[in-house]
Amino acid sequence: MKILTVVGARPQFVKAAAVSRVLRARHQEVLVHTGQHYDKNMSDIFFDELGIPKPDYNLGVGSGSHARQTADMLVGIEELLEKESPDAILVYGDTNSTLAGALAASKIHIPVAHVEAGLRSFNKRMPEEQNRVVTDHLSDVLFAPTQTAVDNLTREGITRNVFNVGDVMCDAVLHYAREIDKQTPDYYFARSRRLLGEGAMPQRWYLATIHRAENTDTPEKVYQVLSAFEELPCPVIFPVHPRTAPLVRQACEQHAFTNTVIIEPVGYIDMLFYTKNAVKVVTDSGGLQKEAYILHTPCVTVRDQTEWVETLAGNHNILCKPTREDILDKVLHTAVDESAYGKPYGNGDAARQITEKLTGALDA
């Protein structure tokens, strides 16, 4: 069976690494990189360090408006589908790459399989929410990461070929966390000093990733976040998204902020090291909330809602407004109830289940 897989953003590379290891033992996979994340530090390093097979095709779409980016992907993916004639297309998550893959395949009647189906923030202003809802309603096989996701799909009338397989990110986090444990902290400190500067590696730190437009599209919003970081008792390591880097650097220079350590985007394994050993994570990323939860690192999410509602149990993750006062309050004064911790994302065998269920659904 031939499966054409579409990826285009950092979290999708990680998910594809987990699934491809299992999928390729039984099927032929054609891997397509849309180029949605085109910065070398945001893309190439992931393929190198995670052992992801090099893409068979790279569309090189790059940045642009949502409409232009999605349209360019649609054209490129449709051409590849007609050329390769796969038995199904496999898409991940909720990016423009996900939507483009699902649309292109459904238009020419190629079955769509969606990994991470059923997530809902119930905020339709989010492009990701629009992408995931449309993709789910176009999909023929839906791999939900949690029972909550299954329930969301049921409420929308989607019940056929829906499988709760657990979360492939859990597969990846558990696999690579074991690799981290094989090295001493000094090994990662040495790697980090190339980014942080000689002698600059703190022994305790917070980890931050803030990139969503609603938190970074004006200097005042960036100031609110960074002014909160300035008052935290440990340095804040902040791998900055290329889109937001100019505003972040400008704010640090204008206001003489010194507690935020700005670094370039790092590879997945280094990011797991930072996450696993952080005092707390502050983020507006979807994936990092979940990775922090799996690694038992408390998280503050600078958003009004989260798709990963399971992480909120016991304040392992807590929602926060993008203001200096609320960030400080949530980071410094939120107590975590360890007794509420569970395993809502499975035991790390989602990739195996996806391969088996996909085979069965397509053969039926």
Residue 313's CB is within 10 A of a number of other CB atoms, namely 15
The predicted structure's pLDDT at residue 200: 65
The predicted structure's pLDDT at residue 40: 54
Q: Is residue 184 packed enough to be buried (19+ CB in 10 Å), middle (13-18) or exposed (0-12)?
A: exposed
Q: Taking residues 228-241, what's their average pLDDT? A: 94
The predicted structure's pLDDT at residue 36: 73
pLDDT category at 318 given cuts 50, 70, 90 is: very high
211 is catalytic: yes
pLDDT category at 42 given cuts 50, 70, 90 is: very low
The predicted structure's pLDDT at residue 46: 65
The predicted structure's pLDDT at residue 54: 83
**CA separation for the pair 59, 32 (Å, rounded):** 8
Summary mean pLDDT of the chain: 92
Residue 43, pLDDT above cutoff 90:
no
Using only C-alpha atoms, what is the Rg of the chain?
20
* Residues 108-134: tens digit of each pLDDT: 999 999 999 999 999 998 899 999 999
**CA separation for the pair 286, 108 (Å, rounded):** 31
Cα-flanking dihedrals φ and ψ of residue 350, to 5°?
A: -65, -40
pLDDT category at 139 given cuts 50, 70, 90 is: very high
Q: Which domains does the chain have, with CATH numbers?
A: 2-167+346-363 (3.40.50.2000), 174-340 (3.40.50.2000)
What count of Cα atoms within 13 Å lies in the side-chain half-sphere of residue 309?
A: 12
Hey, which residues does 209 pair with through a beta bridge?
283
* Closest among 225, 222, 230 to 248, alpha carbons compared: 222
Report the amino acid identity of residue 65.
S
Lookup: tokens for 187: 């090994």
Residue 163, pLDDT above cutoff 70:
yes
Lookup: tokens for 307: 């798709």
**CA separation for the pair 103, 143 (Å, rounded):** 18
Residue 41, pLDDT above cutoff 60:
no
Residue 52, pLDDT above cutoff 90:
no
**CA separation for the pair 132, 118 (Å, rounded):** 8
**CA separation for the pair 31, 4 (Å, rounded):** 6
HEC string of the chain equals CEEEEEECCHHHHHHHHHHHHHHCCCCEEEEEECCCCCCHHHCHHHHHHHCCCCCCEECCCCCCCHHHHHHHHHHHHHHHHHHHCCCEEEEECCCHHHHHHHHHHHHCCCCEEEECCCCCCCCCCCHHHHHHHHHHHHCCEEEECCHHHHHHHHHCCCCCCEEECCCHHHHHHHHHHHHHCCCCHHHHHHHHHHHHCCCCCCCCCEEEECCCHHHHCCHHHHHHHHHHHHCCCCCEEEECCCCCHHHHHHHHHHHCCCCEEEECCCCHHHHHHHHHCCCCEEECCHHHHHHHHHCCCCEEECCCCCCCHHHHHHHCEEECCCCHHHHHHHHHHCCCCHHHCCCCCCCCCHHHHHHHHHHHHHHC
Residue 147, pLDDT above cutoff 60:
yes
Cα-flanking dihedrals φ and ψ of residue 210, to 5°?
A: -130, 120
Q: Taking residues 12-27, what's their average pLDDT? A: 92
**CA separation for the pair 265, 244 (Å, rounded):** 12
Query: Which among 211, 255, 296, 316 is annotated as catalytic?
Result: 211
* Residues 243-299: tens digit of each pLDDT: 888 999 999 999 999 999 998 888 888 899 999 999 999 999 988 999 999 999 999
Q: What Cα–Cα distance (Å) separates residue 141 from each residue in 109, 245, 268, 271? A: 13, 38, 28, 31
The more confident residue out of 330 and 44 is 330
pLDDT category at 170 given cuts 50, 70, 90 is: very high
pLDDT category at 39 given cuts 50, 70, 90 is: low
* Closest among 320, 319, 314, 304 to 335, alpha carbons compared: 314
Q: Return the residue matching tokens 């972040």.
A: 248
